[in-house]
Structure 1
Amino acid sequence: MPNDDDRSDLNVDDYENIWVRLLHMVIIAVLMSMASSLLGIMTVVQFLIMVFNNRQPNEQLAEMGTTMGVWMAKAARYQMAASEVKPWPWTELD
């Protein structure tokens, strides 16, 4: 029967790194929740701007929404282990 010392595929650094990854995943989950709420508020504000501005959207809000969408996609990829690249604030916000 194998014991913990026989695990050649998992060293101590990998074991510790998985817990650091969990911490990052929890932080990102909180940030994603906040981003989702902010996106909902921005959606309502953009709609009201369009109602009162002859159907013309606010360009800064539209750009901010695009940036948030890209960030959320990167965050989701990290959360699902499809990527090892952590989103902002660990990397640049592109």
Structure 2
Amino acid sequence: MDDETGRQAGAPRDSLDGRLHGPQPDPGPAENIFLRLVYMIIIWVMLSLANTVLTVATVVQFVIMLLNNKQPNERLAEFGTDLGVWIAKAARFQTGASEVKPWPWTELD
């Protein structure tokens, strides 16, 4: 146990924290505020689609766990983690906490 939360260094949560709060690519020069609005509208639509995908993945994972003795599908669980990271990055851009746009404008971690 290496930190105050009792987690070991390198634990999955540490990896997730690095993906959300780690070094971010340089966003480049400041863009026009109206161009940012266009990006925000596009990302808003993408967030709406992501919410639908998350809902479907949640239902599918529940059914899998129901039929598989409470064992989740690992690939679906990892997909959920990746989707959650993308949603968090999109929310950071939408709220002005970050100037870095999420995928497809930057790499998908």
TM-score by length of 2: 0.71
CA distance in 1, matches of 2:105, 2:33: 17
Q: Tell me, yes or no, if structure 1 residue 44 matches structure 2 residue 59.
A: yes
Give the TM-score normalised by structure 1: 0.82
Give the deviation of 1:36 after TM superposition: 0.4
Extract unaligned runs of 5+ from structure 2: 1-29
How far did residue 47 of structure 1 move? 0.3
Of residues 78, 85, 90 in structure 1, which corresponds to 2:100? 85
Return the offset for 1:49.
Answer: 0.3
1:75 — aligned with what?
A: 90
Larger Rg: 1
Report the alpha carbon displacement of residue 57 of structure 1 after superposing the two structures with TM.
Answer: 0.3
Are positions 1:55 and 2:109 aligned together?
Answer: no
1:18 maps onto 2:29 in alignment: no
Gapped regions of structure 1 (runs ≥ 5): 1-13
SS at match of 2:80: helix
Runs of 4+ in 1 over 6 A off after TM superposition: none
Q: Distance in 2 between matches of 1:35 and 1:21?
A: 20
Alignment root-mean-square deviation, CA = 1.2
Q: Quote the sequence identity (%).
A: 65
